[in-house]
Amino acid sequence: MMNPMDMTGRRVMVSGASSGLGRATAIQLSQLGAQLVLVARNHDRLEETRSLLAGDGHHIIERDLGTEIDAIPKWMKQVTETTGPLHGLVHSAGVVSMLPLRVLSLAKLNELMDINFNSAVLLTKGFRQRGVVAAPGSIVMLSSIAGLIGQRGLSAYCASKGALMALTRSLALELAEEKIRINCVAPGLVETEMASKHEGELPDEKFAQLEQGHPLGLGKPEDVANAVSFLLADSARWITGSTLVVDGGYLANGV
């Protein structure tokens, strides 16, 4: 029986692949047969991710996507000269910072937007280049339900994740004629290192309230990886410009 999520023969770049959702996604895609191009800042942690992958032919690329953002398209050209063209791109790299408006500076705002949003734009621009993409191609952005709701002290983060969803809707129209699909996944609170950091920034009662707002409990990285893989593969060949919410019922709970 044919598996519509089979990724055999596909090559996928995953940013933020050194931990959390990026690592879980890379592992899942390798188990579906894909070859991975793993991108993150920490070489040792990228090697850890590669050691967990199924199959072979995987590559690791050490790069900070929050710097020299204008050079990303050129860099992607150089990368694919070694790895071969990409069939997919998953942008999982991102940061979350508790930045109440009273302490939010332009420098901090720009730093957060560079990593969470601006790099996504330039990665997409780089992906669509001739010789980089093996059309039909597919892109999945890791957004967050924070882009759909308000959260005290996280206005900059919420804005960056909401911007990813708006970007996805617009680029879906622009890229369709190039046979490239683009979608978003918006997770709720998932048990990752980033979530643990967020927990440490909140009073215990506030984090408990946030946790209780998920009727199905907190998510696992694999829950999000499954959604990303679905959108990336031919199983979602007629889906573009969409945001798939994977939040354990948080939004339905009306929190």
Give the active site residues: 157
Taking the C-alpha atoms of residue 177 and residue 180, their distance in angstroms, rounded to an integer, is: 8
Question: Where would I find the H helices in 34-154?
Answer: 43-51, 72-83, 106-113, 119-127
Neighbours of 59 (CB within 10 A): 17
Please give the structure tokens belonging to residue 146: 């924070």
The greatest distance separating any two alpha carbons of the chain, rounded to the nearest whole angstrom, comes to 58
AA letter at 95? V
3-state secondary structure of 252: coil
For residues 96 and 197, the answer to whether their CB atoms sit within 8 Å is yes
Closest CA to 176 of 252, 237, 111: 237
DSSP symbols for 181-214 = EEEEEEE--BSSHHHHHHHHHS-HHHHHHHHHT-
3-state secondary structure of 142: strand
For residue 130, give every residue at least 6 positions away whose Cβ sits within 8 Å of its Cβ, in sequence order, or none: none
